[in-house]
Amino acid sequence: MNDEVEGVRQGIVPEARALLAAARRAFGGQPHVAGLLDDCARRLDQPLRVALAGQLKAGKSTLLNALVGQDIAPTDATECTRMVTWYRHGSTPRVGAISADGARADVVVRRRPGADGLPGAHGLTFDLSALRWPAGAQREVDHLAVEWPAATLARTTIIDTPGISSLSRAVSRRTERLLADETADDTLPAADAVVYLLRRLDAADIGFLEQIGTGEHGPLGVIGVVSRADEIGSGRIDALHSARDVASRFAGELERTGLCQEVIPVAGLLAFAAATLRQREFDAFEALAAVPADDLGLALLSADRFAGSDLPLPVPPPLRAHLAARFGLFGIRLAVTLIRLGARDSSSLATELTKRSGLEELRTVLDVQFAQRADQLKAHSALTGLARVLTAHPGTAADQLLPRVRTLLADVHGFAELRLLGHLRTDELPLPPEDLTELHRLIGGTGVAAHLRLGLPPDATSRQLRDQALSAVRKWRSRAAHPLADQFTATACRTAARSAEGLLDLLQDPPTTPFARITPPR
C-alpha cells in the first residue's frame, strides 16, 4: 500500500500528465505548441533542476564542487564563470558551448597543478578561446553544458549562474532572465528550486529573492546558504558558530517575508577540500600539529604570513600556500586541532572536516526539502509551462483546462510545510517534546512517505495508515483551536492537521483531489 501511496503522492504528477496529454491533443495541428507541451511532459521524467544563485564571488562554484564531491566547476574569475552553466550526468566528461540557436562547440578543459604536483585550489578551467562551431560560422555563447559521471548529477541537474551584482549588467541579466524573467510567454521555467548564496543580506539579495518568490513563474523551493561561513569569524576556530548566528538572523528576516524556507551556514571551501583531501595534505597537517600552539597561531595570522619562506615550519612554503588556498586559515586551524584531538588518518579527518563545514546539514535539508519533494517541484514547473502555453495560445478546446491548472499551482501546502520546517529549526513551540517530534514528522521532516509521516512501520496496513491519519487530523485540529495557543503555534498545528488531511485523502480508495479538505467525523 505504501508503494501505491508514493506513486500518487499528492496526486499532482498523474494529474499533470493527464492535463498535458489533453492539451497536446487540442494542439495536435500546431507543431510548435505541441513541441512546447512535449517539453513540459518530459520535465516530469527528468532529474530535478536546482539553480545556484547569489551575488558575485558568493562561492557558488565552490559549493557546487563540494556538493558533487569532484572538481568539475571552475572557480577562477575567467569568462566561463560569467556564463550560465548546466551540469548534467553523463557517461564521460564533456563540456560544450551552446549558442542561442542550439549549435554546440566542444570546450577544452584544462587543469593546472599546484604545489609539488598537487592539484591547486583553482585547478580546473574551461578554455573558450578557440571554439569551433559547426559549419565554421562564429556564434555567441548562450550557455555552457557540462556532462560528468557523478552520482549527484544522476539525481539532480545543477545550474551554476553568474553573480547578480556583476559589474557587467549583461552578465547579471543572464541570471535574472533564467530565474526571474516575468516577460517569458510560453517557455518552461529553467529551475525547479534555487539555492541562494548569501555573504550578507542587502538590497540586491532581497530584490532578487523577491523577483523569484513573488513572480508568477518563479521556482517554488528556495533555500538560503550563508556561504563562505568560515570568513565571517575571520578564520577563527569558532567561525562557524558566528556564521550560525548570522544565518539565524538572515533566516528570521527572510522567513518574515516568505522569501526563503531555510538558511544554512556552510564553509564551502572547507567542504570541498574535505571531500577531496589527499594523503600529502594530511601528512602536512600532522606535521603542523606538532608545532607549539603559540608558534602556529602567530604563523596563521594571515595567509601570506603562513606561506612565507621565513617561518621555521616543518612544511615547505609552496605546500603551505597550497593548504591556505585549498582549506583557508579556518580549515587549517580546524584540521590541526582535530589531529591533536585524535584524528589519526586522512579518512577520519575528512569525515570530521565535512561534518563541521555544514555540508552534511545542507545535504539533509536539500534531501528533505527538494529531493523527497522532487515530483511536486517538477510538476509545478511543468504546470507553470502549461499555464504559459495556454495563456499565450488561446482559442482552442484546451482553454477549459486553464482553471484546473491554476488551482493546482495555487495549492502550495507542501511549501507551507517547508516554511514551518525552517521555523522549527530556530523557533521553539510551547508544545511537549513528544508533540514537537510528532509535528516535525507529520509535516515531512523525516521523509514524505506516508508511513514515515505517521510514525508507522513500512509494512503498516492501509487500515492502520488511515486510522493513524484520522487520529492526527483530530488531534492537531484540536491543538490549533485551543484558546491559549498563540498565532504561530496555531498556524503550525493547522499545517500539521492539513498534512494529515492530505494523507487521509491519499489513503482513500480511490483518492480524491490532491490535499482535499477532510472534515473529521464528530
Convert 12-30 into a string of H (helix), E (strand) and C (coil).
Answer: HHHHHHHHHHHHHHHCCCC
Q: pLDDT tens, 238-286? A: 666 777 777 777 777 776 666 777 788 888 889 999 998 999 999 999 9
Contacts by 236-242, CB closer than 8 A, 24 or more apart: 236/330, 236/333, 237/330, 237/333, 237/334, 237/337, 239/267, 239/330, 240/265, 240/267, 240/356, 240/357, 240/358
pTM (two decimals): 0.78
CA pseudo-torsion sign 85, 88, 92, 96? negative
Best CA proximity match to 226, nearest among 253, 266, 273: 266
Q: Could you say which DSSP state residue 264 is in?
A: E
Contact 123, 111 (CB under 8 A): yes
Q: Report the pLDDT value the prediction gives residue 162, as an integer from 0 to 100.
A: 87
C-alpha 317/C-alpha 310 separation (Å) is 9
Q: All 3 cell numbers of residue 495?
A: 499545517
C-alpha 173/C-alpha 85 separation (Å) is 14
Q: Report the pLDDT value the prediction gives residue 265, as an integer from 0 to 100.
A: 86
Q: Report the pLDDT value the prediction gives residue 518, as an integer from 0 to 100.
A: 30
C-alpha 26/C-alpha 74 separation (Å) is 45
DSSP per-residue string spanning 411-446 = --HHHHHHHHHHHHHH---SS-HHHHHHHHHHTTBT
Q: Per-residue pLDDT for the chain (522 aa), expressed as one digit of tens each?
A: 333 333 334 467 888 999 999 999 999 889 999 999 999 999 999 999 999 998 888 889 889 999 998 888 887 766 677 889 999 999 999 999 998 888 898 888 877 665 445 544 456 788 888 788 887 667 888 899 999 999 999 999 999 998 887 666 777 778 877 876 655 555 677 888 899 998 877 888 888 887 776 555 556 678 888 887 777 665 566 666 777 777 777 777 776 666 777 788 888 889 999 998 999 999 999 999 999 999 999 999 888 999 998 888 999 999 999 999 899 888 999 999 999 999 999 999 999 999 988 899 899 888 887 888 888 888 888 988 899 899 989 999 999 999 988 888 776 677 678 768 767 766 678 888 888 889 988 988 877 788 889 999 989 998 999 999 999 999 999 989 988 888 889 989 999 999 998 888 878 755 444 433 333 333
Burial class (CB within 10 angstroms; exposed 0-12, middle 13-18, buried 19+) of 310: exposed
